[in-house]
Chain A
Amino acid sequence: GDSVTQMEGPVTLSEEAFLTINCTYTATGYPSLFWYVQYPGEGLQLLLKATKADDKGSNKGFEATYRKETTSFHLEKGSVQVSDSAVYFCALASGGYNKLIFGAGTRLAVHP
Chain B
Amino acid sequence: DVKVTQSSRYLVKRTGEKVFLECVQDMDHENMFWYRQDPGLGLRLIYFSYDVKMKEKGDIPEGYSVSREKKERFSLILESASTNQTSMYLCASLSGSDLLSYEQYFGPGTRLTVT
Contacts and interface: CB of A to CB of B under 8 A. Distances in A.
Determine if chain A interacts with chain B. yes
Interface of A: 4, 6, 32, 34, 41-46, 49, 51, 89, 93, 97-100, 102-105
Contact of A99 (B45, B90, B105, B107): B45
A42 to B, nearest CB: 6
Given A43-B107, A98-B102, A104 B42 contact: yes
A51 B101 CA distance: 8
A57 to B, nearest CB: 11
Tell me what chain A mostly uses at the interface: helix, strand, loop, or mixed: strand
Contacts, number: 55
A100 B104 contact: yes
Interface string B89-110: 0101010000111111111110
A32 B40 CA distance: 23
Given A43-B90, A97-B50, A98-B94, A104 B103 contact: no
Instruction: Kindly name the residue among B43, B92, B107 whose own CB sees the greatest number of chain A CB atoms within 10 A.
Output: B43
